[in-house]
Amino acid sequence: MLRLFAALLTTLPALAQAEDLVTAFTLDNGMEAVVIEDHRAPAVVHMVWYRSGSADEPPGSSGVAHFLEHLLFKQTENLGPGELSATVAANGGSDNAFTSYDYTAYFQRIAADRLELVMSMEADRMENLLLVEDDIATERDVILEERNQRTETSPGALFQEQLRAAQYLNHRYGLPVIGWRHEMEALDMDDAQTFYDTFYAPNNAVLIVAGDVDPAEVQRLAETYYGVIPANPDIPERFRPEEPPQRAERRVIFEDPRVAQPYLARTYLAPERDPGDQEAAAALTVLAELLGGSNFTSVLNDKLQFEEQIAVYTTAYYSGVSLDDSTFGMVVVPSEGVALDEAEAKLDEALAEFLEDGVNSEQLERIKMQLRAGQIYERDSVQSAARRYGAALTSGLTVEDVQAWPDILQAVTEDDVIAAASALFRPEASVTGWLRAPETDQEVIQ
């Protein structure tokens, strides 16, 4: 098996030479654009990403970025209510949007010969959104119901929301993207219009077009439809409230009678990928895979599930694509009859043992091979490629950073991983949480 892994590892770099065919340009009004060629099928993904997400919302208006995302599907001065989506569907395509902490993105997937159609409509709603009071009331109810369905009805979602709020003492990453309910209920026309007028402009947007396209033709269309939109000279700098030094570990107990399976989670404040400086984030990416990746030989899986048999599930996760400090997290679901305090003690033992023993070199090479393979397989999806570049560019990275990332991951050493773990595992920068049902688990957290 190891010979097979070694053989694959030697061939993957050669496969990886089939890099994304990327062309980047900037329009005169400041709008950035990235074209990713993939001529295997006559289809295209067209995306517009705005450098404005929930972390850019004014205090007291949490949820307005996501609220505005909904309202952009209503009407413009040139398109009737729902006409954009109906037109995309009538042409055999699909469309949607999503909001995160650092960005809001809108996309259509459609036949390549319909690119001009969707680009013209997307450009229209960049500057001609028409808000009416009836839509404000309707969509406010929609986002409140979305919060009900995704958060209020899920103890796990409520628990994770509390963990994140405890992790960030000052930064707006501690607020839920969808918003706090009491602030969502107060969102109005002025909130939405002000956010739109502030952030929805070409010089605050990134155009991503991926698929069966010619870069020169994409640039011509972009200049025709987006290039005529005036830049907003008053786009604010992205200055977020900074985190103060975190000096005390935090602990959260969330009890809910709906909890069927108790578990513990721990997060640490962690550095993000920075332009031209991604090495620390690469080591953390590898660390997450080593500790609790999807393979059965991960450190936590091996120690807590197979050796100690105190857990039925373990995982570790980290995403470095973030404008500001991110988080590194772990979850342990204890076996039946195992108390949460015992599971937490075993987690601490496993982490201490990992730092003491170091990284298994064969496992490290296997993880790096799997990461490389995953990046190659991801290229099967033009939408995945478009999202990779869009998320990166709206989170402070560059096209060059995205392209350098695979090689930076492959350069991670055993010493890099241990150094990253030693810097990461600081109790004072951590939040440990227990999710449990009150009637079945009454331990007192120490």
Q: Which of 32, 37, 57, 69 is catalytic?
A: 69
Which two structure tokens, joined as six digits, stand for 423? Answer: 């810097």
Residue 375, judged by CB atoms within 10 A of its CB (0-12, 13-18, 19+), counts as middle
CA-CA distances (angstroms) from residue 270 to 120, 123, 306, 425? 40, 37, 29, 9
335: left (phi over 0), alpha (psi -120 to 50) or beta: beta
Pairing of strands 104-111, 311-318: unpaired
**83 catalytic per annotation:** no
* Amino acid letter for position 344: E
Question: What would you report as the CA-atom Rg of the chain, rounded to the nearest whole angstrom?
Answer: 23
CA atoms 292, 304, 330, 348: torsion sign: negative
Pairwise CA distance, residues 442 & 446, whole Å: 12
Q: Is 222 helix (H, G, I), strand (E, B) or coil?
A: helix
Q: How many CA atoms lie within 13 A of 168 on its CB side?
A: 21
Pairwise CA distance, residues 41 & 57, whole Å: 39
Burial 301-339 (b: 16+ CB within 10 A, else e): bbbbbeebebbebbbbebbbbbbbbbbbbbbbbbeeebe
Pairwise CA distance, residues 367 & 286, whole Å: 7
What is the distance between the terminal CA atoms of the chain, rounded to a whole angstrom?
Answer: 45
Q: What one-character DSSP code corresponds to residue 109?
A: E
Q: Is 303 helix (H, G, I), strand (E, B) or coil?
A: helix
Catalytic residues: 69
